[in-house]
Chains A and B, each alone.
Chain A
């Protein structure tokens, strides 16, 4: 039936993690550090509020943009915690995860052939959604020597005048890197000079372990050219609920809401209710998870360094991204041999783009026992090779 497919669908590449997913699925007793989601269940206050809402029969559609009460609370939350000012009536859209928000943003902005600047390595959906929208993708390498912080020089090299959109995502998946306000300022200047719209995916912003997170939209003159994408999946451990949001200029949000209205209608109401409860009462549960991640982060970084691998200190999200070139293996060889020999699943850096070569992504959304066991197995594996 392939001949029936549109070239766009036919040419869409499988996600780079697919191969390891299939390999891991065939084996038993695997310890996986390959998961991009929290190991915690959603905080009970939030689950409980959703259960109660179901008992009350709150099972209907909501307005396309999402429950007004949720948008209001979110607007307050963003103002109070992040210094972001968005009008809940016109500048916020509740989506089915940050994933949908990225897709909507690309569809609303891209004319086929427009260039989209995408950091490499980065979360797999950006290039996927850009491709679906017909964009011309320009990868901008993130470099280990800069701790994977985006550099204007590299942007300049990747830029051509057809570029319309820049994707940013800090704290970053897969590297765990963050960028400070001072480091973001030149990027903002570059966006202004080249009239770029910036889609910034800040879904890990609450998982920042040092300093405070700077939302890109708070930089001078950036609010109008920024689509601020985020969600509840990570900090509130809500991956399966499918709920996120996007904030931006009313014209852009309106256009995105139109697409959303035909393709999705609205985000699930129970997820919206649980998210609302999270904003009101989820803070302490969120902080507790943060403490736990911070401790695990240090265990992993220390573990990799003790093996003799270079591992830069990730200050956000829940990933470490050690350099495995000392083993003489490529990323995918390392990951494949490791799972076969020691039954530990990690994701090769190249799953997130060619510049991920030489690295593996390990998640620390696991118990400390699991992390320590995984580290001892990886250490045995690495010792044989360096």
Chain B
């Protein structure tokens, strides 16, 4: 996969792949919240937006370069995850879905309306691309080329996946799964349910924040409508398709759903219809998702 840009350097396809991998990063983060902990979050795009705007604003207003901005982008989005979690997690089930959906929309609308800061609907323009000091070659600007972003996002996905695998096998990960499976039982076993849900939202938010900063650096321009409800739903669909709780699943789900619309371009105006049909077929065949733990033990 690493040699892909060398053997197959078509920039358009590489861009599609990079976008899919960016989705994979988002799916990995959302998988911590929805897949492992079982908290249905419908406003995940907001964390992506917060990360993107954090880098965009730091870069344009304070001249921060890309790399150090990753830290505040992840931190701010993570803090928002915890912050919104505090009130949101007090409500349950359907209400939680509504509250998170509302959060996603409010963030987008806030970025649209805070014109003085965010440029309103026109967004932020002229955000710096990443620069890297390359031994012997001096400073290398990522610019608008495709391959450097492909490598960058690839590296981010590998790192995030490694982190998620470690997390899911840790004490924390097992507690998350227990909460997903049965909150009351988890509480009876001494798991601090609220704190662990907040932690999941914080970690998931931080990963989306990172992805947002990468996105802003790649595009150079961000507008609020890149972060709409459809994006939240798409990422959720990727997590569900891959199988709730599965790291591999989140990545594969994102690659499939991220590239499917492009593969289906031949169908032209029926593209989204075909997309929906493909989703239905897959979920009929494997309701637990591609890599989910099947539940052949029906609950007693």
Is chain B found bound to chain A in the same assembly? no
Residues of chain A at the chain B interface (Cβ within 8 Å) = none
